[in-house]
Amino acid sequence: MLPCLLFLAGLPAVLAHVGGHCPPAGPVLPPPELSARLDLSKLDSRLDSIVRNASRNATIYQYHHTAAVRDPSGVKKVDGDTVYRLCSVTKLFNVLTVLLNAGDLLDTCITKYVPELAGDQVYEGITLRMLSSQVSGLPRSGDAFDLASTDAKSWEDAGFPVPAKGDMPPCDVVGGEVCNRAQFFENLKSNQLIWLPGAKTAYSNQAYTLLGMAMQNITGKTFAQLLRDSITTPLGMPLTGLNTPDNSRGIIPNGAGKVLWDQDMGNYNATAGLFSTPNELGKFVRGIMNHELLSAANTREWMRPAGFAGSYSMSVGAPWEIFRVAHLTPDQRPIDIYTKSGSMPGWGAYVFFVPDYNVGGAIAVSGDDGDAASLALLDMVAATFVPAVDTLARQQAKAAYTGRYGASSNDNKRMNETAHLELVIDQGPGLKVKSWFNNGKSIIKAIADHKGVKPEGMDLRLYPIGENNRWQLSVETLKRQVDVARKPSDACSNWSQTDSMRWATLPVDEFDFEVTNGRVVGVRNLGLRANLSKIH
């Protein structure tokens, strides 16, 4: 097994659950500065339980392992410049080229851009957005992994009939010839859609082949040219592309993976043809997190679910595979991990992002059952890295924001004595408002009275808006939440109450912190017209 694991951080910039809190989706505290000490010793030890011999390199965290058994024509030792096949991680690059070059065309039909589909009623309702979001209903891979072409004897021994020679796929199978364009469409049209367009999520490689063809028609550039012009050249990724590199640059497994190392993906290049290195994947991940190619607003819109995958813990985007995990942090809130996987015999890969902490990374594996190994490494990211980063975020937020704030204006002595705010970090999400007085009156009690509950039954918390040190107040009536709602009233609905308190045109539920020389020195509540200085 030959894995690489890489963690990266960007520049600083619901499901109901047990515990009584229902925070907004996304970050509940500012993403931590990971230049500070981050204890990843537990991750080291867990990685060593799967593969032996760890080595730390640059970035935040990097791990490489070179297996003793591998093809001798490849690299002698794996490092950050070793080339791997990324398989379906290619789809992430494909979608990004669409967003960068034709984002305004996502809701147009594929029939407009692929001549072979023009006038075909089967494809008339399928848009570029559906193709990129895995809701097009197209077949998965056509004949590419036809069982009769990959491991016929074992299936025949298990009871499958011996196929007639004329029934065997002529091309676009592992180890075989590449179909020409006409053959590809002949195969595509010989199959029916597996679901109605837009109805259900279903993984499709052929959808991304069509997406690549559409983009060539729209831009006049091949997928390889789009990759180069839109992504790899701007981000400085010269080793990332569709051409098989020299063997001496790559890590090549034995067995099926060796056959696929230099397999021409042909029509499937836009869905699974990419090669890259850990270091260059790091540039790609940073480029997305730091908005070097796509604007911050468009990146946030991109990192959204487009459909569900039949469980509470997974949803699907364009082309995200989104895992929702919980119970990893003291507040037990759900945390979304945005990923794109890639796998084929001998290879496994992930690119992943955790938007709550503005961190991301990449996993690349070459060897037997690389798919299972890459998923096991992703599990470790969730189980070990997420709690470590959450702890760091809490520590930094506690040092920066918690404490007592009081009015300090010499122009209003009475206000000085009767207005104050106390913020703490506890086991819950965000900053807890422990006490809040204005004009000598408890604002927490006033809100509780308005809602018809006792003050001790209220929970007020601040969550970062994400810019200019602005924070949003969330007011909750505490009750026991459940992991899985059995009836509509079990679900979190606090999202509908955001920005619901205004006083004389200004929001009472917005707090703006004042920062001087990197230190929080005060806070302003707009609605109450209260400027409070940090006392301790």
What pLDDT is attached to residue 353?
A: 95
- At residue 193, the 3 state secondary structure works out as coil
The secondary structure of 468-510 as a DSSP string is TTEEEEEEEE-----SS-SSGGGS--GGGGTT--EETTEETTE
Res 67: pLDDT: 53
Taking all residues of the chain, what is their mean pLDDT, rounded to a whole number?
Answer: 86
**Residue 11 pLDDT greater than 50, yes or no:** no
| pLDDT at residue 18 in the model | 42
pLDDT of residue 58: 34
Query: How is 225-260 classified by DSSP, letter by letter?
Result: HHHIIIIIHHHT-TT-BSSPPPGGGB---STHHHHH
Q: Is the pLDDT of residue 400 over 90?
A: yes
pLDDT attached to residue 13:
34
The pair of three-digit structure tokens given for residue 407, joined into one six-digit string: 């009015």
b/e burial code for range 99-129 (CB count within 10 A of at least 16 → b) = bbbbeebbeebbbbbbebbeeeeebeebbbb
Looking at residue 211, its pLDDT comes to 98
The DSSP call for residue 266 is: G
Contact 89, 342 (CB under 8 A): yes
Compute the average pLDDT of residues 131-138: 97
Give the pLDDT confidence of 348-360 residue by residue, as tens digits.
999 999 999 998 9
pLDDT in tens, 142-168: 888 888 887 888 999 999 999 998 889
Query: Rounded distance, CA 362 to CA 353, Å?
Result: 9
- pLDDT tier at 76 (50, 70, 90 boundaries)? low
Per-residue pLDDT reduced to its tens digit, 34-65: 764 566 555 554 444 333 222 223 344 455 55
pLDDT tier at 451, thresholds 50, 70, 90: confident
Mean pLDDT of 202-207: 97
Residue 484: phi, psi to the nearest 5? -125, 120
**Low-confidence winner among 201-210, 300-309, 450-459, 463-472 (lowest mean pLDDT):** 450-459
Inform me whether the pLDDT recorded for 312 exceeds 70: yes
Beta bridge partners of residue 351, listed in sequence order: 340, 362
Amino acid, res. 493: S
Mean per-residue pLDDT, 5-17: 45
Convert the pLDDT of each residue in 229-284 to its tens digit.
Answer: 999 999 999 999 999 988 888 878 777 777 788 888 899 999 999 999 999 999 99
Domains, the chain: 2-142+191-395 (3.40.710.10), 402-534 (no CATH)
Residue spans of alpha helices (H) in 366-512 = 370-380, 386-401, 413-418, 443-451
3-state helix, strand, coil in the chain (%, to 5): 35, 25, 45
pLDDT at residue 119 tops 50: yes
pLDDT reading at 401 higher than 60: yes
Least confident interval from 246-260, 376-390, 401-415: 401-415
**What's the rounded mean pLDDT across residues 184-197?**
94
